[in-house]
């Protein structure tokens, strides 16, 4: 099973880019973030025509997540448990389903800037709920992949200029500690598992300042695997191709292969 995550920065503006990549790369399961549209506006037909089933959790203008799969989608759930602890959480940032023998979640973690402030508090609260849910899922002892735009650079090795980002919400010790909590309970971060000592590789490049041309990137899109999923992990990579295309998203797909 080829499984990928991609923050597309508007599914409507990116439809042709997404269709091209689906045809070219042929992933079995794709976890999308930042749809920026409501459920009814999601362009289902052209994606279904390529053989995908679709589960969408959309929202007007902002956020929005989806799961595409060539396998049936079962047990679809939207929203992260514990929203009652964050009454301000009306964002569409989480969708989960079981497909092809794997439980998958598409995650769009809050950005959290500026630091300090209510947006950073929201990010940390959301991460606390994600940590709790990741623990609950771990107890199921299933193949589970929690993937998406985590908006966290796990270490300074994931930042082109750590000094410039020292005050950024993506690099704060509090953000990194919560990301590490998920790893420490037993999840494997797929890309880092294959590259424990580098090289530096990124999944996001700002639109501004020639960031792509100068490879001034960040690695913030991650695939986190339960032990049962990690046991099947055979390959992992970052596909820079879509970022170089015309009208590209500022993120590019990160993918892994599970031998299931």
Question: Using CB under 7 A as the criterion, which residues of the chain lie in contact with DNA when the complex forms?
Answer: 7, 9-10, 12-14, 34, 36-37, 60-62, 110-111, 113, 119, 149, 151, 170, 204, 206-209, 218, 220, 247, 250-251
| Residues 6+ away with beta carbon under 8 Å from 239 | 4, 21, 25, 252, 253, 254, 255
Long-range contacts of 215-218 (CB under 8 A, 24+ apart): 215/160, 216/160, 216/161, 217/160, 218/153, 218/158, 218/159, 218/160, 218/165, 218/170
Kindly state the smallest distance separating residue 38's Cβ from DNA, in Å.
Answer: 7
C-alpha pair distances (Å), 181 with each of 128, 172, 187, 207: 9, 14, 9, 31
Kindly state the smallest distance separating residue 74's Cβ from DNA, in Å.
Answer: 29
Nearer residue to DNA within complex by CB, 10 or 228: 10
Nearer residue to DNA within complex by CB, 5 or 151: 151
| Residues 6+ away with beta carbon under 8 Å from 232 | 143, 258, 259, 260
Kindly state the smallest distance separating residue 226's Cβ from DNA, in Å.
Answer: 25
Nearer residue to DNA within complex by CB, 111 or 228: 111
Nearer residue to DNA within complex by CB, 197 or 208: 208
Nearer residue to DNA within complex by CB, 216 or 228: 216
Kindly state the smallest distance separating residue 113's Cβ from DNA, in Å.
Answer: 5
Kindly state the smallest distance separating residue 147's Cβ from DNA, in Å.
Answer: 15
Question: Rounded CA gap, 170 and 147, in Å?
Answer: 16
């Amino acid at each position: 099973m080829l499984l990928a995550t991609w923050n597309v920065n508007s599914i409507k503006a990116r439809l042709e880019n997404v269709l091209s990549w689906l045809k070219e790369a042929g992933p079995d399961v794709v976890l999308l973030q930042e749809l920026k549209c409501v459920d009814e506006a999601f362009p289902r037909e052209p994606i279904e025509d390529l053989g995908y089933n679709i589960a969408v959790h959309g929202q007007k203008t902002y956020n929005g997540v989806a799961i595409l799969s060539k396998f049936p989608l079962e047990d679809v759930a939207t929203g992260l448990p514990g929203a009652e602890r964050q009454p301000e959480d009306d964002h569409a940032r989480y969708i989960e389903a079981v497909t092809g023998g794997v439980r998958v979640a598409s995650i769009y973690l809050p950005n959290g800037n500026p630091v300090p402030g209510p947006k950073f508090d929201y990010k940390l609260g959301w991460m606390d709920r994600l940590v709790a849910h990741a623990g609950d899922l771990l107890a199921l002892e299933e193949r589970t992949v929690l993937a998406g735009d985590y908006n966290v650079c796990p270490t300074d090795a994931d930042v082109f200029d750590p000094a410039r980002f020292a005050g950024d919400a993506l690099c704060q010790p509090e953000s990194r500690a919560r990301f590490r909590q998920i790893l420490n309970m037993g999840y494997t971060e797929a890309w880092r598992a294959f590259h424990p000592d580098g090289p530096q590789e990124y999944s996001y490049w700002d639109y501004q300042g020639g960031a792509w041309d100068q490879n001034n990137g960040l690695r913030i899109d991650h695939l986190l695997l339960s032990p049962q999923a990690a046991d099947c992990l055979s390959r992992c990579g970052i596909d820079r191709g879509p970022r170089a295309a015309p009208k590209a998203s500022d993120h590019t797909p990160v993918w892994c292969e599970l031998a299931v």
